[in-house]
Structure 1
């Protein structure tokens, strides 16, 4: 019985840890200093130069479902922060115009970079959750020159029922 309780406790702790995202930046106020952002969120996953400042990327990829883009002006003051792994954000990708650099600037590093037999180029995979909290993938197909050629979403059937038994 003690083993069951221990395993149940570990399972609950794992579930709670997986649901939390450590980089919540939605309540940061415009004008917050770079130093205050770093004190609050810690070191970013990546820092990206922008024409009018810089972007601090806070991503929970490859296993999480969130990526916060924290934009700072040239003086190091917060302009805005947003969670970008969402359907409306992914719809901004323009095949034939965006490159791998554009995708990673806007969404951070992907969860995976794969190749598939039916495509002659890399496929960037992002994990995210839709509005009803379903686990999802978003795939961005690049050609050999790094230009986006197509992009689409799909479900991640991580906890799907076993249809073989029905």
Structure 2
């Protein structure tokens, strides 16, 4: 029970931090200035990244995934001198459209960031990863799914998650 309370406390602290930060994200944070801000400043404001991706030019990309409950994955690009180049949300429609048949799981993870969940379907032989994404309308959740078969992307799809009436307040 104590372990659960500790996890619950950590989750509440994370929710409070997000709520207090308002609209500040690595994409729209006025404190972050390309060419001036450093990786240390980014981490001071946003904490430790989910992952760090090395770049061919000696720079790196800091991944800030909000899955399994959020709907974003911020990729903060730093150059070889550890200066901010820019930040993007990896889960935008344009970026999701870059997922193509034949890509490897590593390529998809590098493109979209940490997934919400993975489920293997025995009958089809597909391993399906999903990400929460922004819905087109309020009132439901939307998931972007990547279907892998034999270690490569087979196809993508989207799933609507309707609210369960048992959890709605009257």
| Residues 1:125 and 2:130 are matched in the alignment | yes
Structure 2 counterpart of 1:99: 104
Deviation at 1:20, TM superposition (A): 4.4
| Residues 1:69 and 2:53 are matched in the alignment | no
Could you state the TM-score of these two structures normalised by the residue count of structure 1?
0.76
- Please, which runs of 5 or more residues in structure 1 have no aligned partner? 1-12
Encode CA deviations 1:84-119: one digit per residue, 9 max, x unaligned: 2232221111112x2111111111111101112343
Q: Quote the RMSD (CA, aligned, Å).
A: 2.6
Residues 44 and 57 in structure 1, CA contact (< 8 A), matched pair in contact too: yes
Distance in structure 2 (CA, Å) of the matches to 1:111 and 1:43: 19
| Structure 1 residues 81 and 149: alpha-carbon distance in aligned structure 2, compared to 1, 3 A threshold | same
Structure 2 counterpart of 1:88: 94
| Structure 1 residues 20 and 120: alpha-carbon distance in aligned structure 2, compared to 1, 3 A threshold | farther
Deviation at 1:79, TM superposition (A): 1.1
| Residues 1:25 and 2:30 are matched in the alignment | no
Extract structure 1 runs of 4+ deviating beyond 2 A.
19-23, 130-134
Structure 2 counterpart of 1:49: 54
For this pair of structures, how many residues does the alignment match?
A: 146
Encode CA deviations 1:36-79: one digit per residue, 9 max, x unaligned: 11111110011111222211000111121111011111111111
Distance in structure 1 (CA, Å) of the matches to 2:105 and 2:85: 24
- Please, which runs of 5 or more residues in structure 2 have no aligned partner? 1-11
Could you state the TM-score of these two structures normalised by the residue count of structure 2?
0.74
Residues 141 and 151 in structure 1, CA contact (< 8 A), matched pair in contact too: yes
Distance in structure 2 (CA, Å) of the matches to 1:105 and 1:139: 15
Deviation at 1:140, TM superposition (A): 0.5
Structure 2 counterpart of 1:59: 65
